[in-house]
Chains A and B, each alone.
Chain A
């Protein structure tokens, strides 16, 4: 524990230091930019334009890739359509055969399922 007089002296020193520090901070903290802000602005805009150009190039490349992918998707769609048509033909032929069998026709007429049998053989060969 400090005696009262010492404490008061210490507090005087602290408060005085605070005031002096405050003045010193005010005087030394003035911001003086040593750069030419106009030059910085021009450089920044130039950089932005270069970035813009680069981005346009990247967008062009992406558009080409997207075009290729879309063509690939269209080809796949066509393949799916063809398979759908084949499956519809097989299903229809099997249904007709089923109806003949239900009605007691044995064996089923040779005219049905010619295309279906061809497609089934084809499918087995590819599987």
Chain B
């Protein structure tokens, strides 16, 4: 008789699970990152004309790097959230978007710190930490998924 394939998990929900189990927040994060990316790009393209007072302290090429990274990251996360295909592809797109987004927020946070702007320093570091948590959540989900689907032995002839 075949064993059950899908077993309910009876383990208690840990604080870590609660921290990493909020997929809806990806929509909010993607939107905020995109809006910030647009504002930073605006400031980068028209120095002195955009809303950011932090990004103008960077050289042009770094301002471009931070701005474009953040904008691309936000757009990729929104793409992942609205992806109509396979979940695994959606997660891959989100992972690809999270990495440059975290880098951009870290850079932005450090620049804010050097310019004496504690609010934007906190915001940047918080988003970077949140992005890292999200990456960990996705990879952890993958590991669990793999451990469940690969428990069953393959058929002898297959």
Contact = CB atoms under 8 A, between A and B. Distances in A.
A22 B100 contact: yes
Interface residues of B, number: 38
23 contacts: A1-B113, A2-B110, A7-B111, A11-B58, A14-B106, A14-B107, A14-B110, A15-B62, A15-B66, A15-B100, A15-B104, A15-B107, A18-B101, A18-B104, A19-B103, A25-B96, A29-B88, A31-B92, A36-B158, A38-B158, A39-B155, A40-B152, A43-B5
Contacts of A44: 2, 5
B133 to A, nearest CB: 15
Interface of A: 1-2, 4, 7-8, 10-12, 14-15, 17-19, 21-22, 25-26, 29-31, 33-36, 38-40, 43-44, 46-47, 50
Contacts of A39: 152, 154-155, 158
B65 A10 contact: no
Does more than half of chain B's interface fall in helix, strand or loop, or is it mixed? helix
Given A7-B110, A11-B111, A12-B62, A35 B104 contact: no
Given A7-B114, A15-B107, A35 B152 contact: yes
Interface string B1-27: 111110000000000000000000000
B91 A29 contact: yes
Given A40-B5, A43-B2, A21 B99 contact: yes
Interface string B132-144: 0001000000100
Contacts of A14: 103, 106-107, 110
Given A11-B111, A18-B102, A47-B5, A26 B142 contact: no
A3 to B, nearest CB: 9
Contacts of B155: 36, 39
Contact of A47 (B4, B58, B92, B135): B4
Does more than half of chain A's interface fall in helix, strand or loop, or is it mixed? helix
B84 to A, nearest CB: 17
A29 B89 CA distance: 9
Contacts of A18: 69, 99-104
B75 interface: no
Contacts of A38: 158
